[in-house]
Structure 1
Amino acid sequence: MTTVADRTGEVLDRFGSIDVWVNNVGVGAVGYFWDIPIEDHARLVDVNLKGLIYGAHAALRVFRSQGGRGTLVNVGSVDSAVPIALQNTYAATKAAVRSLGHSLSEELRMAGDDDIKVGTIMPWAVDTPWWVRPGQHGCLRRHPRTDGRRGLPLTRFDGVGNCHRLGRR
């Protein structure tokens, strides 16, 4: 299994430095909290929060080692500010993403690393397979009373910092 440290080393070997690191991690489980198996809740925390922590840790170590410069972009979710029923653990992990970003920014300020920036983008709904086949990806379990949030406006993040409105499905 490839680790974040392995990937970081490969990127540094190839490019020599890292200027921008995007932490875009996320899985979900849709349904009543008590109906979702506890193992699925644990997987959400493992991927959505721990995965982001591994990435942020690697990125900040690199940024500090290359003279204290770089930008860390964490992908959160609007669900962290406006929790949506049937996605409670997902919303909780994305709230942690938002909080971690604020805390890291403050720590960097305290350490005098003013040229390392941390930001969190909070899209509403991103155009991924989640919306097309929600029961077939990772631990995602589609609750019979949900419709995969069809009808909500979707956003596609192109990985370069641009969000595109896709309209309703």
Structure 2
Amino acid sequence: MAGQGWQSRRRSRSRHDAARSTPTGWTIGAAPGAETVIAVLGPAALPVALARLHGAGFGHLVRVLDPARGDIGVSLRRAGITADIGLDTFDPDASVVLVQATGRSAVVGDLLLTAGAREVRVLVNPERRDAGEAADLAVGEVGGADSDVAAGDLMIPTDLDGSDTGAGASR
């Protein structure tokens, strides 16, 4: 009898361990139609950007990737971002902020740009795109069937001094 209880607990523990090994947290961009805002921020701009995101109610959707804590490329892949976002051009001290902002990417992008982000991009999960649209989605394109952001609307990289590097930026 005593052995039966031990086996029962052991079975329960192994099920618990199996459940813990299954990825249960949110993966950025995994949902069909997900819009993920990716921003590159320097050490001085990061606290300002996080304060603005939290103040606007987006704090629970933010993930910060710090180069001091590990390789940014590995962290991006772990977060579900497989698109090439030009990591080789980032400064070694720059942090990357990921925000799951489906339907609100323009607002989040604007918050990050005004907070001093060096670069802001939006990735859209291609599963959302209509059959008539191209299947591939380049980094920097935004929008989708139900999105309030059109391609090229907002996410224009900025120089460190805050000046635009391209036309069409809306701030």
TM over 0.5: no
Which structure is larger by alpha-carbon Rg, 1 or 2? 2
Higher relative contact order (CA 8 A, sep 6+): 2
TM-score range, shorter chain: under 0.3
TM-score (norm 2): 0.27
In proportion to residue count, which structure has more helix? 1
TM-score (norm 1): 0.27
